[in-house]
C-alpha cells in the first residue's frame, strides 16, 4: 500500500492511527511501500517503522523501500522489531543492500521483463549484465517508475500512466533510455527518433516515410466495420485474415474475452457480399470442453473448389501461463485444417505440428503451398508442400527454418518473427519483423523455391515493430501494408508501400489510416494503440485491407487501385 508524502511527515501517533485503520481493513498483513520519488530523512523512516511495528506481525508484515540508498535500509533495520521484513529495490545492488539489512529484493524491472530477469537470476551472465545496465539507468532518474512505464509502453507492453507524485519523467531521459530489448548482452541505446544505423539492404529511399506522414490518403478510400467489440463480449480481436470465395468476402480472426492467448480464445469469421456490410460473427474453432485450449486464426484458402481454413491450437502460452520448458513459448502447438461443408466447418484429417501461422496459405510461383510463421520456440519457419498438389496435405508438408531464435535472441542481437513473403525477381523474399528494437524490417531470400534461405540481413525499411503483409498485385507491383513508423507514432499509422522493380525498391508510400489519439477502450494484455496486423487481397479494381484497431475491433479498407 503506497504511503502519501503527507503521511511521512505526520507524527508517530497519526501514523499509528493510519496503520491501525489500514490493517483492520485488510484480511492479510500489509507490506508497506514508500513510493519513489518521495524523499524521506532517516528520522522519518525510523518514526514510520516504529509506528508500523506496533501492528507487527498480524497487521503489518514489513516494508518495501525502493530507494537505492544503503543508509535507508540500515535505518529501517535499526528501527524495526525482530522478524520485521525489509525489502529493497534494485537487484543489481542486492548484495550491498542485503548487507545493510534487506531480507529480499522487489525488482520493478522484473515486472517488465520477467523471463529475462528469471534467466539472469538462474545464471545467464550476459542477461544479468544487461539488466544491471538498464537498472543503473533507471536508478539515476528522479522519476524511475514513470521512466520505466514509458519504456514499457515503447515495447508494446501497455503499462498505463504512472500515479502521482512520480507521474512524469523528463523527456530527455525517455529519449535516451535503453530499449527494453535484449541485444546480445548490451542495452540498445538508440534514440526514439528513429536514428538507428541504416540496414545493409536498401529498400526505402530517404524521406519516404516523412513524405507519407505529411500526405493525404488515396482518393476514394473507404473504411467499414466488420466487427466491433462490446462490453461483456469478446473484447480481444486480432490476427484478422481476408479472403474471397464464391462471390463472398470472408474474414476470420482470433477472438478472446480479455487477454491474448488466454483459455477460451476462439476463431470467428464473418462474410460479406460487397465488403461493406458484414454478417454477425460465428465460430470456426471454439473453446474445447476442457477449457484450457486456445485458438489463433491462420486464414482461408481454396482447395479443389472448396473453402478451407487453418488455425493453430495450443494448451499453454508462456506469457499467460508461465514457463513449461526452457525457451518454449507455446505447448502442444499445431496447425489444423478445416473444410467448409455446406453451412458448417468440419476438421480435416491430420495437422501440421509445431507451426504458428502468421498469414493465410498462398501458392509459390511453382504452385506449391507456403505458410510462413513461427514454431513453439518462436523461430521463424515456413511450412511448404512437397509438390504442387491441389490440397494442403499435412503429410506432404516440410518445415523450412529461416531464422533461429534462441530464447528470442539470435547471435546478432535480433528478435526476428512474424514473416511475410513476396516474389523478389527469380527468388522468394521473406521479410521479418525485428522485436529487438532496430525499427527495421529484415530480409531473407531463397533461390531454390524455399528449400534453403539466406541469413537474415537488416534493411533500411522502417517498421514500428509490428506484423505486416506483403503481396504481388495484378499489375506486377509488390505491395507492402505495414506500420512504417520508426518513431513515437508507432502503429497509429497504417500505410501501403509499392515497388515497381520486384521488391528491390519501394519508391511509393501512401497513408491509409492515421489517428494520433487512438487507444484501446477495454483492458487487455498486449493491446497496443494503433492499427494492427493487416492482411490484404485485390478484387474488382480495389485493394481490400483488413486490420484490427487496438486489437479490439475488426475493420476493412477499400482502396481504388488507380489511386495507388
Per-residue pLDDT of the chain (564 residues; tens, 9 = 90+): 554 445 544 455 666 677 777 777 677 888 887 766 555 566 677 777 887 887 888 888 888 888 778 888 888 888 888 999 999 888 778 788 888 899 988 888 887 777 778 777 777 787 788 788 888 888 778 788 888 887 777 665 666 677 665 667 777 787 777 766 554 433 333 333 333 344 579 999 999 999 999 999 999 999 999 999 999 999 999 999 999 999 999 999 999 999 999 899 999 999 999 999 999 999 998 765 456 789 999 999 998 899 999 999 999 998 888 877 777 889 999 999 999 998 899 998 889 999 999 999 999 999 999 999 999 988 999 999 987 766 788 888 999 999 876 443 333 455 899 999 999 988 999 999 998 778 899 999 999 999 899 999 999 999 999 999 999 999 999 999 999 999 888 999 999 999 999 999 999 999 999 999 999 999 988 898 999 999 999 999 999 999 999 999 999 999 999 999
SS3 at position 252? strand
Q: In the chain, what are the domains?
A: 5-106 (3.20.20.70), 208-563 (2.120.10.10)
392 preceded by a cis bond (ω within 30 of 0): no
- Could you tell me the pTM of the whole model? 0.73
Backbone angles phi, psi at 339, to 5 degrees: -120, 135
**371 alpha carbon, distance to own chain's centre:** 21
pLDDT at res. 43: 64
Q: Is 247 left (phi over 0), alpha (psi -120 to 50) or beta?
A: left
| Cα–Cα distance measured from residue 441 to residue 372, given in angstroms and rounded to the nearest whole number | 16
Cα distance between residue 103 and residue 457, in whole Å = 47
Give the per-residue pLDDT at 178: 74
Amino acid at each position: 500500500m503506497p504511503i502519501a508524502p503527507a503521511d511521512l511527515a505526520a507524527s508517530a501517533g497519526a501514523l499509528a492511527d493510519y496503520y491501525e485503520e489500514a490493517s483492520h481493513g485488510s484480511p492479510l498483513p500489509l507490506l508497506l511501500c514508500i513510493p519513489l520519488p518521495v524523499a524521506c530523512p532517516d528520522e522519518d523512516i525510523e518514526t514510520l517503522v516504529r509506528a508500523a511495528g506496533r501492528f507487527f506481525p498480524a497487521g503489518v508484515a514489513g516494508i518495501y523501500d525502493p530507494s537505492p540508498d544503503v543508509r535507508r535500509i540500515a535505518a529501517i533495520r535499526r528501527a524495526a522489531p525482530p522478524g520485521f521484513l525489509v525489502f529493497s529495490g534494485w537487484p543489481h545492488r542486492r548484495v550491498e543492500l542485503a548487507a545493510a539489512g534487506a531480507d529480499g529484493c522487489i525488482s520493478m524491472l522484473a515486472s517488465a521483463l520477467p523471463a529475462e530477469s528469471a534467466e539472469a537470476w538462474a545464471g545467464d551472465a550476459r542477461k544479468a549484465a544487461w539488466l544491471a545496465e538498464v537498472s543503473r539507468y533507471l536508478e539515476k532518474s528522479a522519476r524511475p517508475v514513470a521512466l520505466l512505464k514509458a519504456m514499457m509502453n515503447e515495447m508494446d507492453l501497455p503499462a498505463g500512466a504512472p500515479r502521482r507524485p512520480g507521474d512524469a519523467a523528463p523527456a530527455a531521459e525517455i529519449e535516451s533510455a535503453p530499449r527494453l530489448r535484449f541485444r546480445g548482452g548490451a542495452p540498445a541505446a538508440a534514440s526514439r527518433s528513429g536514428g538507428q544505423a541504416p540496414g545493409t539492404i536498401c529498400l526505402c529511399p530517404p524521406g519516404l516515410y516523412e513524405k507519407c506522414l505529411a500526405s493525404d490518403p488515396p482518393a476514394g478510400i473507404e473504411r467499414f466495420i466488420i466487427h466491433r467489440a462490446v462490453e461483456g463480449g469478446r473484447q480481444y480481436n486480432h490476427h484478422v485474415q481476408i479472403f474471397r470465395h464464391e462471390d463472398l468476402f470472408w474474414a476470420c480472426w482470433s477472438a478472446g474475452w480479455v487477454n491474448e492467448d488466454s483459455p477460451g480464445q476462439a476463431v470467428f469469421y464473418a462474410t460479406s457480399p460487397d465488403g461493406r456490410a458484414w454478417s454477425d460473427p460465428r465460430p470456426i474453432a471454439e473453446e474445447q470442453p476442457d477449457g484450457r485450449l486456445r485458438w489463433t486464426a491462420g486464414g482461408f484458402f481454396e482447395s479443389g473448389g472448396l473453402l478451407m481454413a487453418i488455425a493453430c491450437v495450443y494448451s499453454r502460452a508462456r506469457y499467460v501461463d508461465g514457463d513449461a520448458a526452457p525457451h518454449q513459448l507455446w505447448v502442444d502447438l499445431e496447425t489444423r485444417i478445416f473444410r467448409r461443408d455446406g453451412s458448417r466447418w468440419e476438421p480435416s484429417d491430420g495437422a501440421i505440428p509445431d507451426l504458428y501461422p502468421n498469414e493465410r496459405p498462398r501458392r509459390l510461383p511453382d504452385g506449391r503451398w507456403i505458410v510462413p510463421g513461427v514454431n513453439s520456440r518462436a523461430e521463424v519457419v515456413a511450412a511448404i508442400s512437397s509438390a504442387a498438389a491441389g490440397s494442403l496435405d499435412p503429410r506432404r508438408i516440410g518445415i523450412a527454418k529461416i531464422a533461429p531464435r534462441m530464447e528470442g535472441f539470435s547471435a546478432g542481437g535480433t528478435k526476428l518473427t512474424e514473416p511475410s513473403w513476396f516474389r523478389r525477381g527469380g527468388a522468394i523474399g521473406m521479410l521479418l519483423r525485428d522485436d529487438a528494437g532496430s525499427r527495421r524490417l529484415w530480409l531473407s531470400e531463397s533461390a531454390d523455391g524455399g528449400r534453403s534461405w539466406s541469413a537474415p540481413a537488416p534493411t533500411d525499411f522502417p517498421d514500428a515493430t509490428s506484423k505486416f503483409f506483403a503481396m504481388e498485385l495484378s499489375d506486377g507491383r509488390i505491395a507492402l501494408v505495414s506500420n512504417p513508423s520508426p518513431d513515437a507514432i508507432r502503429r497509429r499509422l497504417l500505410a501501403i508501400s509499392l515497388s515497381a522493380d520486384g521488391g528491390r525498391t519501394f519508391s511509393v508510400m501512401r497513408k491509409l489510416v492515421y489517428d494520433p489519439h487512438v487507444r484501446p477502450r477495454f483492458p487487455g494484455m498486449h493491446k497496443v494503440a494503433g492499427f494492427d496486423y493487416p492482411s490484404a487481397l485485390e478484387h474488382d479494381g480495389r485493394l481490400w485491407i483488413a486490420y484490427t484497431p487496438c486489437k479490439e475491433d475488426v475493420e476493412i479498407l477499400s482502396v481504388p487501385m488507380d489511386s495507388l
